[in-house]
Amino acid sequence: MGSQTRPFDDKTAGTIDRKRERERRNMLQALDRNAPELATKLVQRLLDRHIIETTSVEAIRGVFNNLFHTLPETEEFDIQYKTAPLRGLVNDPNFISLYVTQYIAEDLLEHASIQDVFGDDLEIYQAVDSILTALRPSS
């Protein structure tokens, strides 16, 4: 005998899924709207915490600005794929902070203006999330 889901449970799950999706969409829209300011703050935080060493702050600010403008158009599968290695890093992670953390560890490291990236995944995530947590809806 298979388990049966009550219609109430389906309705509740659907409501939660819609709310979560709406929050994700709102966070991505806020990221796009505030990209220049967030990119500036993020680069400064990464420098202050000695996460990155760069020959051009302006170039790296531009990289993040572009990333923040394009992330809202990124397919959900690509976001999930990029963040998969870090999903267990913290409880209740900010998916945008996970994506940016993985981007720094994998892709930014290859940028011509980056001399080095320091810190482990958690240190990078904490620096990133200290800026991008502003995108999360208040509970």
Domain ranges of the chain: 7-135
1 pLDDT exceeds 50? no
pLDDT at 29: 96
The dihedral region occupied by 92, where left means phi > 0, alpha psi between -120 and 50, and beta the remainder, is left
Q: What's the pLDDT at 13?
A: 65
The mean pLDDT value of the chain amounts to: 91
Q: Are 51 and 127 in contact (CB under 8 A)?
A: yes
The pLDDT value recorded for residue 6 is: 55
- The least confident of 16-30, 73-87, 121-135 is 16-30
Tokens of 116: 């080095």
